[in-house]
């Protein structure tokens, strides 16, 4: 292997090495910061940092991911099952999660949350994705594709659905709260 030539290092009057100028930033066209990494760039220097991984096409991609692809019912031999009029019997798509989408992009949930804050169009796309997620959950639960307790757990913890329970509150005298309120107003 040929030996690398050592570059002659020049020093300024304070004894610091003089670094040749770096190319300008491709995003803001300001010169790149030549100081220490832990220092804030001075006025007039590039402060862009690492380019974000976010791409505008993620808006359509997350909706497509959450919309899912229908799966077809197969017989024991692996052939698609059809109805009497020849249509394929479809099953609802598998339940999509934001963890699954983050894994697909090789990123994290925190990154997705940051993108929701920084890019309004991505926030809008995740709202639409949540609607698809909720519909897939309901469809699969109604078809009994999920254990009912698991479906309730997922619905209450991952969607806006909540369990409601009504309790009749009675007075010590045996009167219901509704009756007491009626008497007080009447």
Supply the pLDDT for residue 19: 65
Encode 108-127: b = buried (16+ Cβ within 10 Å), e = exposed: eeeebeebeeebeebeebbe
Q: What is the pLDDT of residue 127?
A: 96
- Residues in the chain, pLDDT under 50: none
Secondary structure (3-state) at 53:
coil
Rounded CA gap, 37 and 4, in Å? 27
**pLDDT tens for residues 38-64?**
666 667 677 676 667 899 999 999 999
Residue-level length of the chain: 186
pLDDT at 145: 84
Number of Cβ within a 10 Å radius of residue 170: 13
Q: What is the pLDDT of residue 129?
A: 96
User: How far, in Å, CA of 65 to CA of 128, rounded?
Assistant: 11
- The pTM score is 0.59
């Amino acid at each position: 292997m040929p030996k690398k030539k050592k570059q002659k290092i020049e020093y300024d009057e304070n004894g610091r090495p003089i670094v040749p100028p770096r190319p300008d930033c491709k995003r803001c066209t300001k010169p790149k910061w030549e100081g220490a990494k832990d220092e804030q760039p001075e006025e007039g220097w590039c402060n862009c940092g690492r380019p974000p991984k976010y791409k505008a096409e993620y808006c359509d991609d997350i909706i497509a991911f959450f919309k899912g692809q229908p799966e077809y019912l197969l017989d024991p031999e692996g052939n698609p099952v059809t109805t009497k009029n020849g249509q394929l019997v479809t099953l609802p798509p598998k339940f999509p999660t934001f963890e699954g989408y983050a894994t697909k992009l090789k990123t994290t949930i925190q990154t997705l949350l940051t993108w929701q804050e920084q890019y309004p169009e991505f926030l809008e796309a995740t709202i639409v994705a949540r609607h698809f997620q909720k519909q897939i959950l309901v469809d699969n639960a109604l078809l009994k594709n999920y254990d009912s307790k698991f479906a309730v757990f997922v619905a209450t913890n991952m969607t806006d659905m909540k369990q409601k329970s009504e309790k009749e509150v009675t007075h010590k005298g045996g009167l219901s709260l509704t009756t007491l309120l009626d008497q007080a107003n009447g």
